[in-house]
Structure 1
Amino acid sequence: MSTLTRRALTSATGIALAASGLVAFAASPSYAAGPAYQMPFSCNQAWLGKTYSGHSPSIQSIDWTHGSTTANQPVLASADGVVSTATTLTNPDGSYRSYGKYVVIDHGNGSTTLYAHLNGYDVSAGTRVVRGQKIGIVGNTGNSSGAHLHYEQRYNGTVKQSVFDGDPFQMGSTLTSRNCADTTTPPAPTGQWRAQVAVESGGGLYHAVRNADRTWTGFGDVQGVTGAVPGGVRTTAEAGVNGDTHVLAVTNEGKLFHSIRFADRSWSDFGDVAGEAGQLANITQVAAVSSGTEVQVVVVADGKVYHTVRRANGTWAPFGAVGNPGGAPVTKVALSQTGTDTQVVAVSGGTLFHTVRHADGTWTNWGDASAETGVSGIDDVAVAGTGGDLQLVVTTEGGVKRYHGARFANGQWVLNDLSSVVPSGVTVTDVAAAQVNNELQAAFVTTDGRVLHTIRAVSGTWSPAAPVDLTGVPGTRTGVSITGTYN
């Protein structure tokens, strides 16, 4: 590992930190808006959409009914596309099974819709259809106990929360179809950087967005949409990739789950990462960052650091051991991207350690960052990448003291007191940080259950830490995560 050079902690270094241009002015990433989906029913018809626990293949699948007149109602294409499947599933004795008669439409760029339990279909594989075109009629074929339309919106083969006329659908709602001849495509959202913030509370997970104009959305119950994470949420991490926000959740049972909040504000189910990356015992911490179209993920399991990658095609690399740098169990891990490098920091025995994963997959040896900064007794750390520099937010003395600093691209370190930003008398139990539109945004959970939010501008000045409105977040707030997403 390259030798780290310590920089003296003086007021001059604080000036250098503010003037160093830590935040790189990166171009906004592209993102692809999904199809302009409309309901799969005739214009102005009102349908009730429901799901249930154990709904196959996902609780995001919708069972649509139209009262006593459900059977044989026309089923319309939700968006333009090409029929990829139009078939009937039967048992050896000729009886219907599973989806029964069903149709799948490919809308391009990984997006598909599925229409099942039909009494009949009017299309065949290869048929090009337009939104609003009749493709079949509602029925009761397959594994069905009454006439209804089983409907799915999928992305890269995974069922996601459905979106109609630009709005995510809430299960149990009755919705009126706008699949009309004169329906225009809803305008694409204006691209802007937004801070995605997740708060853990009482085993639940709640999510809000801070927009570029500094307004906040309300916090919503994530598991109310994605389904419950077994055992409840212990801690989370987030990473923004091309308009989507990837959310990693460690459960109280020590397992790792993953979901996506798409650019259209819909969610995918939480899925157990162990199915592809491998099962680790007793996961206690997770951190994530985007690296191009991939998500770099590190976890702490049985006190040791492990690494995996979620690839752009949705598959996961197997977990690989990164080690236990201090000998004592690792209590916190954080990572960020700087250029083509993924930088990882870990707290072990109150000491801060640092390593780098290069683009070719090789790692540097762990280095003692506490020795470089002169700050030990570290409780918590969060990091954010700004060009070639790594910015840090650190807490010590049980969360009573806070520091901000950087590891510069030349390997030098600096750490300075943050008492002017987070007022004295506040004790911090969890900290998160991210680069959002060239600024460092940080969030702190306090012992009195508040979440404080602050921004370090490009000029190096800080806004005073202010409480976030946590209306809709019940219970005791225990953790926070933050990332920047452009959509």
Structure 2
Amino acid sequence: MLRTVSTGHPSRHRVRRSVRSRVVRVVGLLGVVAVGLALAVVVVPLLRQPGPRPLFQLPVACGETWQLGTYPGHDDYDVDLFPTKGEAWGRPVLASYAGRVTEAGINGSVGGRTPDDPDGPRGRGGGYWVKIDHGGRWETQYLHLLEAPPVRVGQRVARGEQIGRVGSTGNSGAPHLHYEQRRGWEKVETHFDGAPSGITHDDTEYTVRRTSNNCAPGQP
């Protein structure tokens, strides 16, 4: 009886399976490395300690005096701003400090409150809004704007640059600017021109007046 004699060389099928197996392992390893790098890009900056607080200014025109307030149930550190003189509708909303726009659009829903129909239906959330990243893990948020913001995501804005107008979109009872300062994941007490606002907890109604120093060079 004739016996099959082995030549000592692997079959083509075995070679192909071995090559495919190595390719799959390499591709899988590259995928794991890519995921790890992507997570590092996202997570590592979040683990860094926040930088020093920027010298935020009131987000309204230079020299204007506005009332800053909160009320029970408003949420800690949230600030509502109302002008002490003149109509609130349509007043310019300015960037508190230079930075990059990270949100510019609709938070929740707009609703139907306008200067022509101030008692129209409320929307949800913040309505038209803008969020700015100022670096060092500091952010500011501007909500209830009158219309779609004139800035776009990724745009760099200067301190004092107009980013919207005061309105009453979203869950808002009257035209005003809802404003927040955030450090990392946390909302913090707002400071303006280096001074704390005094608005911390929402366990009681509280108001204070401040005059804006958000002025261009040479402005009084």
Name which of 187, 190, 193 aligns with 1:159. Answer: 187
Letter of the 2:54 partner, please give it: P
How many residue pairs match? The answer is 153
1:126 equivalent in alignment to 2:154? yes
Listed as ranges, the matches of 1:251-266 within 5 Å are none
CA contact (8 A) 1:52 1:59 kept: no
Letter of the 1:83 partner, please give it: V
Listed as ranges, the matches of 1:268-279 within 5 Å are none
Question: What is aligned with 1:44?
Answer: 63
Q: Following TM superposition, by how much is the alpha carbon of 1:91 offset from its aligned partner in structure 2, in angstroms?
A: 4.8
Name which of 130, 135, 147 aligns with 1:103. Answer: 130
Structure 1 pair 37/96, CA: closer, same or farther in 2 (3 Å)?
A: same
Q: Deviations over 1:404-438 (max 9, x none)?
A: xxxxxxxxxxxxxxxxxxxxxxxxxxxxxxxxxxx
Query: Aligned with 1:100: secondary structure?
Result: strand
CA contact (8 A) 1:104 1:113 kept: yes
How far apart, CA to CA, are the structure 2 residues paired with 1:167 and 1:180? 16
CA contact (8 A) 1:53 1:59 kept: no
Q: Following TM superposition, by how much is the alpha carbon of 1:89 offset from its aligned partner in structure 2, in angstroms?
A: 3.1
Query: Aligned with 1:83: secondary structure?
Result: strand
How far apart, CA to CA, are the structure 1 residues paired with 2:79 and 2:197? 10
Name which of 133, 142, 148 aligns with 1:115. Answer: 142
How far apart, CA to CA, are the structure 2 residues paired with 1:61 and 1:100? 16
CA contact (8 A) 2:57 2:192 kept: yes
1:71 equivalent in alignment to 2:89? yes
Question: What is aligned with 1:89?
Answer: 107
Structure 1 pair 53/124, CA: closer, same or farther in 2 (3 Å)?
A: same
Name which of 208, 211, 215 aligns with 1:176. Answer: 211
Query: Aligned with 1:43: secondary structure?
Result: coil
Whichever structure has more helix as a proportion of its residues is: 2
1:148 equivalent in alignment to 2:179? no
How far apart, CA to CA, are the structure 2 residues paired with 1:112 and 1:174? 23
Q: Deviations over 1:178-197 (max 9, x none)?
A: 000128xxxxxxxxxxxxxx
Q: Following TM superposition, by how much is the alpha carbon of 1:53 offset from its aligned partner in structure 2, in angstroms?
A: 1.6
Letter of the 2:100 partner, please give it: V
1:34 equivalent in alignment to 2:53? yes
Structure 1 pair 130/93, CA: closer, same or farther in 2 (3 Å)?
A: closer
Bigger RCO of structures 1 and 2 (CA < 8 A, at least 6 apart): 2
CA contact (8 A) 1:100 1:116 kept: yes
Question: What is aligned with 1:236?
Answer: none
Q: Following TM superposition, by how much is the alpha carbon of 1:34 offset from its aligned partner in structure 2, in angstroms?
A: 1.1
CA contact (8 A) 2:146 2:168 kept: yes
CA contact (8 A) 1:89 1:96 kept: no
How far apart, CA to CA, are the structure 1 residues paired with 2:101 and 2:111? 28
Structure 1 pair 93/117, CA: closer, same or farther in 2 (3 Å)?
A: closer
Question: What is aligned with 1:59?
Answer: 76
RMSD, aligned CA = 2.4
Structure 1 pair 167/111, CA: closer, same or farther in 2 (3 Å)?
A: same
Q: Following TM superposition, by how much is the alpha carbon of 1:122 offset from its aligned partner in structure 2, in angstroms?
A: 1.1
Question: What is aligned with 1:440?
Answer: none
CA contact (8 A) 2:167 2:176 kept: yes
Q: Deviations over 1:348-406 (max 9, x none)?
A: xxxxxxxxxxxxxxxxxxxxxxxxxxxxxxxxxxxxxxxxxxxxxxxxxxxxxxxxxxx
Q: Following TM superposition, by how much is the alpha carbon of 1:61 offset from its aligned partner in structure 2, in angstroms?
A: 0.6
Query: Aligned with 2:134: secondary structure?
Result: strand
Listed as ranges, the matches of 1:360-439 within 5 Å are none
Structure 1 pair 31/43, CA: closer, same or farther in 2 (3 Å)?
A: same
How far apart, CA to CA, are the structure 1 residues paired with 2:110 and 2:67? 34
Structure 2, unaligned runs of 5 or more: 1-48, 113-121, 200-206
Query: Aligned with 2:172: secondary structure?
Result: coil
How far apart, CA to CA, are the structure 2 residues paired with 1:117 and 1:148? 7
Structure 1, unaligned runs of 5 or more: 1-29, 184-487
Q: Following TM superposition, by how much is the alpha carbon of 1:92 offset from its aligned partner in structure 2, in angstroms?
A: 11
Listed as ranges, the matches of 1:234-253 within 5 Å are none
Whichever structure has more strand as a proportion of its residues is: 1
